[in-house]
Amino acid sequence: MLVICLVIFVAVFGVMFYSILKHRKSLGHKSANFHESVSVEIAWTVAPLVIVIAMGAMATRTVVAMKDTTNPDLTIKATGYQWKWGYDYLKGEGEGIKFLSTLDLNQRVMSDEGKPQGDDYLLKVDNPLVVPVDRKVRIITTASDVIHAFAVPSLGVQQDAIPGFVRDTWFRANKTGDFYGQCAKLCGKEHSYMPIHVKVLSQPDYAKWVEGKNKEMAALADDPTKEWKLDELLARGEKVYNGNCAACHKPDGKGGGPVKPLDGAAVVQDADKTKQIMVLLNGQNNGLMPSWKALSDTDIASVITFTKNHWSNKTGQAVQPAEVVAARK
Ligand SMILES: [Cu+2]
């Protein structure tokens, strides 16, 4: 395309400058006196038309190929949440693997303090999206709360992730390494705290990762009917809180701005545990407190138990995963 444009550019400006220089008044050139030339008018209409149609045909083929998501080797669903990404390996090697990918907590601290550090500042996540090299990876995008956008410029992909809609895009990484992107939505500053880290591995490394991840997932799978002891729930709940809740509600549970405090909150201290379970499952405050139903029953039960027994909250209540299961219905 550039070559075609360059040839046209040189030809048109060449003729123009030649005409101006060689036919100027100071050389004694007399202006010609004619108008209307049917053949010239047909020529300068038909020639550009042919060029535009030829360029359009070439461009169409490329655009269709860019949008062609058929026959992928691996299909992954990327779900945008406030404010993280969820990845589900739907088809291909690694099928069944799913996890959430959240900004590393230290990055937010650096951002709040205004002290950026490291090459992966605000790009470091706990669980990167891992894919094999030289394989066609189809990414299906959707969202659970607001519109997000899955964008990784170095892999040439950007696709909106819209609640209730399913869109897709694809890429094929031709070298191993780390590739970074960010949620490309601007409506709300928190979108910039949900980066995308794509880790491209060689085939054997990817197979090893899949094996390890499957084992890890099997080990993490909790029996939702298990009765947990209070201190077990508290230990687990603290981790869940720091990974998911502390960003907004703060480590001291005081919240801030529109974010409600948990320390001393009526809902947290309420004897009716269902109230807080419902807030976590459904969200509140018009989505400002998002729904956390993507977390496991055990994670929700333990984090609620943690908030009910931390800071000045001393309810002594324990929420069991079975209670969350019941509330989901
Ligand atoms: Cu977003």
Longest CA span, the chain: 104
pLDDT in tens, 138-181: 999 999 989 999 999 999 999 999 999 999 999 999 999 999 99
319 C-alpha to center of ligand 1: Å? 31
Tokens 């010609």 identify what position?
32
123 C-alpha to center of ligand 1: Å? 14
Fold agreement (74-220, 230-328): no
5 C-alpha to center of ligand 1: Å? 38
CATH no. for 74-220: 2.60.40.420
Domain range annotation of the chain:
74-220, 230-328
pLDDT in tens, 278-301: 999 998 888 788 888 888 889 999
Total count of residues recorded for the chain = 329
161 C-alpha to center of ligand 1: Å? 8
98 C-alpha to center of ligand 1: Å? 19
Cα separation, 252 vs 260, in Å, equals 12
CATH architecture for the domain at 230-328: Orthogonal Bundle (1.10)
pLDDT in tens, 89-134: 999 999 999 999 999 888 988 988 998 988 889 999 999 999 999 9
pLDDT in tens, 249-263: 988 999 888 889 999
Of 129, 205, 218, 135, the closest CA to residue 172 belongs to 135
pTM over 0.85: no
149 C-alpha to center of ligand 1: Å? 6
